[in-house]
Amino acid sequence: MKSIVTGGAGFIGSHLVDRLVDAGDEVLVVDDLSSGRQVNLPSTAKLEEMDIGDERIADVIAGFAPDRVFHAAAQISVSLSAREPMTDAKTNILGTLNVLDGIRNAPGDPAKFIFVSTGGAMYGEPEALPASETLPAMPGSPYGASKHTVEIYLPVYERLFGIKHTTVRLANVFGPRQDPHGEAGVVAIFSKAMLAGKQVTIFGDGKDERDYVYVGDVADALAKSAEDGGTGPYNVGTGVGTNVNTLFGLLAELCQYEQKVNYGPPRAGDIGKISLDSALIERELGWRPGTTLIDGLAETVAWFRENSA
Ligand SMILES: NC(=O)c1ccc[n+]([C@@H]2O[C@H](COP(=O)([O-])OP(=O)(O)OC[C@H]3O[C@@H](n4cnc5c(N)ncnc54)[C@H](O)[C@@H]3O)[C@@H](O)[C@H]2O)c1
């Protein structure tokens, strides 16, 4: 199989690239390296350093002739999307349509499109948790709205242009290689700060709950959704919510961190509690998370210990 992974030099994308390369795929990564890093990539994966909004992406797709395109490149910050909705939409809507147009205009059968969407920012704050895909989309941020917008385009592109797709809605992903410098990725941010003995800030009262799913399990879910299954959307999470104070405690123990936490004001666009019901992807694709929270956190802290300069 020939696979393109947009955003493949990033956190989730690079774990997927590892899976695909291990399975014998020929892989081309399209990434502008805005947050991704070339060192995340195995030497056998090729890299095209390019913005997904660049019109030349059509030539890249036509030249490589992929069987499938995994689309992980995105503006990923919820709070940036609340400050600058246009910046978010430019990458997450227009950039994505540019990739789809590249697939549409390439000769031969169009590649299958696997869309990396969000579950954490899709459903608002449902009363009953974990949230299943049958709930209506109620994004609480421009980031969630831009991801949902693409989800609406995909069946249209399938009907009009024959581009098959699967949408995967991820919970809060954590693990090795997550960028600890951004605003998203609380496990990476806390791990890095704790190992360096720095002050850790929790925005809000720490009672917000998220569904933390390990990146290796997410890479498996993405690889599986390219093989078979329907269009989704498929939730990919553990079904269990963990609050930020609990997460702080678990990481503090793993990092042997003894300082007290600092509480800051809540951030715009953040929601209170979310966890995802992944029964559909289990039923249709046989996927379920294989890594416990504590094992995943231990792997992550070990990685930051080895890789923090
Ligand atoms: N991390 C999570 O918890 C989570 C949850 C739900 C969905 N997602 C989605 O998963 C995908 C990957 O996120 P991640 O956490 O690995 O973040 P990341 O920042 O590590 O990965 C994004 C990658 O896309 C690249 N990129 C960004 N803008 C680009 C552009 N305009 N052109 C080309 N490349 C560009 C970056 O350089 C980076 O390598 C995103 O689509 C994100 O919305 C992530």
Rounded distance between C-alpha atoms, residue 26 and residue 31, angstroms:
16
If asked whether residues 63 and 194 sit together in one domain, one would say no
115 plus 136 within the same structural domain:
yes
Given a cut of 90, is residue 180 above it in pLDDT?
no
- CA gyration radius, the chain: 19
Q: Which residues, listed in sequence order, are joined to residue 243 by a DSSP beta bridge?
A: 209
Residues identified as active-site: 143
Gap between the Cα atoms of 276 and 181, Å rounded: 26
Query: Do residues 121 and 200 share a domain?
Result: no
pLDDT higher than threshold 70 for residue 309: no
pLDDT of residue 183: 67
How many domains are there within the chain? 2
- Say if residue 155 is in the same domain as residue 13: yes
Token pair 């300082």 in the structure block, residue: 259
Residues 74, 191 within the same domain: no
Q: Give yes or no for residue 97 having a pLDDT over 80.
A: yes
The count of other CB atoms within 10 Å of the CB of residue 73 is: 30
Ligand 1: residues within 6 Å at CB? 7, 9-13, 31-36, 51-53, 72-74, 76, 91, 95, 116, 118, 120, 170, 172-173, 179
Rounded to the nearest angstrom, the distance between the alpha carbon of 62 and the centre of ligand 1 is 23
User: What are 48's strand-pairing partners?
Assistant: 30
Digit-coded pLDDT (tens) for 48-77: 999 999 999 999 999 999 999 999 999 999
Distance 84 CA to ligand 1 centre (A): 17
**Is the residue at 138 inside a domain?**
yes
Q: Is residue 309 part of a domain?
A: no
Atom of ligand 1 nearest to the CA of 121: 6
From the CA of 143, give the closest atom in ligand 1.
43
Stretch 3-7: mean pLDDT: 98
- In which domain, by residue range, is 33 found? 2-173+212-239+277-285
List pLDDT tens digits, range 226-279: 997 799 999 999 999 999 999 999 999 999 999 999 999 988 767 789 999 999
Q: Give the span between the Cα atoms of 88 and 212, in whole angstroms.
A: 24
187 and 131 in a single domain? The answer is no
Task: Say which CATH number the domain at 73 has.
Answer: 3.40.50.720
In a domain, 308, yes or no: no
Clarify whether residues 64 and 106 are in a common domain: yes
| 205, 84: one domain | no
Relative to the CA of 51, which ligand 1 atom is closest? Answer: 32
C-alpha span between 67 and 272 (Å, rounded): 39
183, burial (CB in 10 Å: exposed 0-12, middle 13-18, buried 19+): middle
